[in-house]
């Protein structure tokens, strides 16, 4: 591949990126207006953190911008050859809009995600082998790994979408980095889609940062999670024929560690507490930060920074094996999150101790009053 070839890929992707920024801003403004006019709003409740009814179809602006840029710039033959991706997009957007406006049960969403993962598998977007190992996997294992990974990624982004700007910011970091990696690995169509999503996310985030004027909703979070799964499968299945290729895989994995770890952590906690893994609660990483005392803005920035820190770690430990890198990244994620949990527990103990001292002081004051009254009588 010549340098001119890569320059043309970057120019095409940059055009899609800029186009999507503009379209996303326009579509988001329109959706905010329409949602407010027709009362298509997400109302606050005990589980949700926002205080006033807010439009929740922001994901539609992201997806519309991306799809329009794809159909304007990408060859029709490329779109047809990637039919499995676009089929999954159509299904997820349809379910997402219905869920944002009415509601879809968690079980039905899971069934549809299983179906979408199966479509990707049929479309030959799958795990043929474990990264770094050349042995081809048994077809049944390929199917299980592919579908499981798609479900994990969709729910990881969906579950992390709990406070203003968090899911959008983390997804922007991932898609930007992954976009460059896909172009370098000569996967121009996927690279273009990644950059288009990045641009659309920037346009959306202007209105989603705290205090948010709109949420991305399931329409946005599930589609972004799905596309990240597609991008990562493509990267993880690329040949590790050089140190640079192995580094790209490490960076791509590092960019999604935060939402993936949050999803696994929450599900494990629910199971340990004898609750359904599909039930909603307030045990996510962002809830920990809010419980410690950080506001929405700071909590979001902390988690963005944590993601960047994991990516930098992947860059710094490039000389070690892929498996060891993964272990280090997961260990770092555990340390970062559980240190917050320890701080939260310490704060609870401190508050209990302060409360206990106040009770003791009140009891002593009451005793003094009683003694004084006895003396008077």
Residue whose pair of structure tokens reads 């479900």 in the numeric block: 151
Whole-prediction pTM = 0.89
Q: Quick one: CA torsion of 41, 47, 50, 51, rounded to 10 degrees?
A: 90
Residue 235 lies in a domain: yes
pLDDT greater than 80 at residue 377: no
Instruction: State residue 224's pLDDT score.
Output: 97
Higher per-residue confidence, 38 vs 252: 252
177 touches 252 (CB < 8 A): yes
Instruction: State residue 214's pLDDT score.
Output: 93
Higher per-residue confidence, 251 vs 368: 251
226 touches 157 (CB < 8 A): no
Residue whose pair of structure tokens reads 């507490």 in the numeric block: 273
283 touches 269 (CB < 8 A): yes
The secondary element (H helix, E strand) that includes residue 54 is strand 54-55
Instruction: State residue 272's pLDDT score.
Output: 85
Instruction: State residue 118's pLDDT score.
Output: 97
376 — pLDDT class (breaks 50, 70, 90): low
Other beta carbons within 10 angstroms of residue 271's beta carbon come to 11
How far apart, in whole angstroms, are the C-alpha atoms of residue 12 and residue 267?
Answer: 40
Q: Any idea what DSSP says for residue 190?
A: H
pLDDT greater than 70 at residue 190: yes
Residue 248 lies in a domain: no
How far apart, in whole angstroms, are the C-alpha atoms of residue 82 and residue 94?
Answer: 19
Instruction: State residue 195's pLDDT score.
Output: 97
* C-alpha of 298 from chain center: 17
Instruction: State residue 111's pLDDT score.
Output: 94
165 touches 205 (CB < 8 A): yes
92 — pLDDT class (breaks 50, 70, 90): very high
Higher per-residue confidence, 206 vs 240: 206
Residue 375 lies in a domain: no
Domain coverage including residue 195: 3-241
Pick from 300-309, 316-325, 327-336, 342-351 the range whose average pLDDT is largest.
300-309
pLDDT greater than 90 at residue 216: yes
- Percentage above 70 pLDDT, the chain: 88
207 — pLDDT class (breaks 50, 70, 90): very high
Residue 76 lies in a domain: yes
* Tokens linked to 67: 């799809």
pLDDT tens string 42-73:
776 666 666 678 888 899 999 999 999 999 99
The secondary element (H helix, E strand) that includes residue 41 is strand 41-42
133 — pLDDT class (breaks 50, 70, 90): confident
pLDDT tens string 233-250:
999 988 766 667 888 999
Domain count, the chain: 1
Nearest to 252 by CA among 320, 306, 155, 173: 173
Higher per-residue confidence, 69 vs 283: 69
The region of weakest confidence among 10-24, 137-151, 188-202, 350-364 is: 350-364
How far apart, in whole angstroms, are the C-alpha atoms of residue 162 and residue 141?
Answer: 33
Instruction: State residue 234's pLDDT score.
Output: 94
Region for residue 74 given its phi and psi (left: phi exceeds 0; alpha: psi -120 to 50; beta: otherwise): beta
Task: Using alpha carbons, list the distances in angstroms from residue 83 to 59, 93, 120, 154, 220.
Answer: 21, 15, 9, 19, 20
Residue 363 lies in a domain: no
Instruction: State residue 242's pLDDT score.
Output: 62
How far apart, in whole angstroms, are the C-alpha atoms of residue 180 and residue 190?
Answer: 10
Residue 40 lies in a domain: yes
Q: What is the rounded average pLDDT for all residues in the chain?
A: 87
What are the backbone dihedrals phi and psi of residue 13, each rounded to the nearest 5 degrees, phi first?
-70, -35
* Tokens linked to 46: 């005990």
Residue 255 lies in a domain: no
Task: Using alpha carbons, list the distances in angstroms from residue 239 to 126, 236, 245.
Answer: 14, 8, 7
Strand partners, 55: 41
pLDDT tens string 166-188:
999 999 999 999 999 999 998 99
Pick from 14-23, 244-253, 351-360 the range whose average pLDDT is largest.
14-23
How far apart, in whole angstroms, are the C-alpha atoms of residue 362 and residue 349?
Answer: 20
Q: Any idea what DSSP says for residue 212?
A: P
229 touches 146 (CB < 8 A): no
Residue 276 lies in a domain: no
The region of weakest confidence among 39-43, 126-130, 288-292, 369-373 is: 369-373
Residue whose pair of structure tokens reads 């329009």 in the numeric block: 68
């Amino acid at each position: 591949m010549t340098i001119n070839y890569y320059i043309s890929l970057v120019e095409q992707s940059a055009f899609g990126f800029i186009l999507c920024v503009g379209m996303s801003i326009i579509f988001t403004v329109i959706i905010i207006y329409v949602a407010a006019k027709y009362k298509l709003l997400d109302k606050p409740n005990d589980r949700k953190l926002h205080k006033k009814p807010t439009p929740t179809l922001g994901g539609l602006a992201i997806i519309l911008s991306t799809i329009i840029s794809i159909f304007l710039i990408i060859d029709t033959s490329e779109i047809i050859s990637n039919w499995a991706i676009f089929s999954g997009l159509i299904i997820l957007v349809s379910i997402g809009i219905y869920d944002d406006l009415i509601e879809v049960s968690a079980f039905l969403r899971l069934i549809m995600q299983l179906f979408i993962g199966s479509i990707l598998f049929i479309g030959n977007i799958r795990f043929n082998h474990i990264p770094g190992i050349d042995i081809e996997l048994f077809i049944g294992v390929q199917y299980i790994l592919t579908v499981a990974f798609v479900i994990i990624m969709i729910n990881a982004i969906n579950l992390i979408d709990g406070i203003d700007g968090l899911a959008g910011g983390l997804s922007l970091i991932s898609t930007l980095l992954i976009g460059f990696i896909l172009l370098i690995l000569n996967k121009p169509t996927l690279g273009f889609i990644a950059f288009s999503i990045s641009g659309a996310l920037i346009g959306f985030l202007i209105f989603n940062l705290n205090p948010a004027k709109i949420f991305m909703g399931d329409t946005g979070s599930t589609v972004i999670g799905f596309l990240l799964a597609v991008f990562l499968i493509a990267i993880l299945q690329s040949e590790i024929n050089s140190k640079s290729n192995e580094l790209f895989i490490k960076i791509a994995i590092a960019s999604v560690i935060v939402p993936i770890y949050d999803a696994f952590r929450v599900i494990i906690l629910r199971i340990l507490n004898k609750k359904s893994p599909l039930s909603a609660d307030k045990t996510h990483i962002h809830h920990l930060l809010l419980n410690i005392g950080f506001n929405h803005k700071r909590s979001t920035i902390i988690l963005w920074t944590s993601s960047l820190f994991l990516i930098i770690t992947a860059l710094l430990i490039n000389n070690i094996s892929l498996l060891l890198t993964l272990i280090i990244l997961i260990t770092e994620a555990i340390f970062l999150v559980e240190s917050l949990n320890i701080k939260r527990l310490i704060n609870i103990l401190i508050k209990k101790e302060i409360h206990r001292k106040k009770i003791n002081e009140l009891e002593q004051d009451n005793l003094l009053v009683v003694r004084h009254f006895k003396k008077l009588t």
